[in-house]
Structure 1
Amino acid sequence: MSDTTAVRELLDTYAKALNTSDAALAASLYAPDGVFMPYQAPTAAGPQQLLEAYRQIFEQIQLDVEFTIEDLTVDGGTAHAVTGSAGRVTVHADGSRAPERNRELFVFVRTDEGWRIARYMFNKTAPASAGS
Structure 2
Amino acid sequence: MRLPLFLLLLAASPLVLAHDDRAADAGVDARAAIEDTNRSFEATFADADAEGMAGLYSRDGQVLPSGSDAISGHQAIAAYWRAAFDAGLEGVDLETLELDTHGDRATEVGRYTLHGAGEQVIDRGKYVIIWTRENGEWKLHRDIFNSNTPAAAPSGDAAMLTRRDLEWTQMIPGVAFAPAYGDWQSGRHGKFVRFDPGASAPMHTHSNPYNGIVLEGRLTNPYAGEVEPAEMEAGTHWYVPAAAEHSNTCVSEQPCLFYTYGDAAWDIALVEE
Q: What's the offset of the Cα at 1:87?
A: 4.8
The partner residue of 2:75 within 44, 48, 65 is 48
Runs of 4+ in 1 over 4 A off after TM superposition: none
Structure with the higher helix share, 1 or 2 = 1
Post-superposition Cα deviations, 1:48-105, rounded to whole Å, max 9, x if no partner, equal 1111111111111223332111001111000011111125334xxxx9x544211011
Under a length normalisation based on structure 2, what TM-score does the superposition of the two structures give?
0.41
Greater Rg over alpha carbons, structure: 2
Higher RCO (C-alpha under 8 Å, 6+ residues apart):
1
- What is the root-mean-square deviation of aligned Cα atoms in Å? 2.2
Q: TM-score, normalised by structure 1?
A: 0.81
1:28 corresponds to 2:55: yes
Query: Is residue 74 from structure 1 mapped to residue 97 from structure 2 by the alignment?
Result: no
Aligned length in residues: 122
Counterpart check, 1:120 vs 2:147: no
- Say whether the 8 Å CA contact 2:113–2:121 is kept in structure 1: no
| Runs of 5+ consecutive residues of structure 2 not aligned to the other structure | 1-27, 150-273
Q: Larger strand proportion, structure 1 or 2?
A: 1
Counterpart residue type for residue 39 of structure 2: D
Q: Does 1:105 align with 2:128?
A: yes
* Aligned position for 1:89: 116
TM-aligned CA deviation for residue 113 of structure 1: 4.6
How much identity, in percent, do the aligned residues show? 21
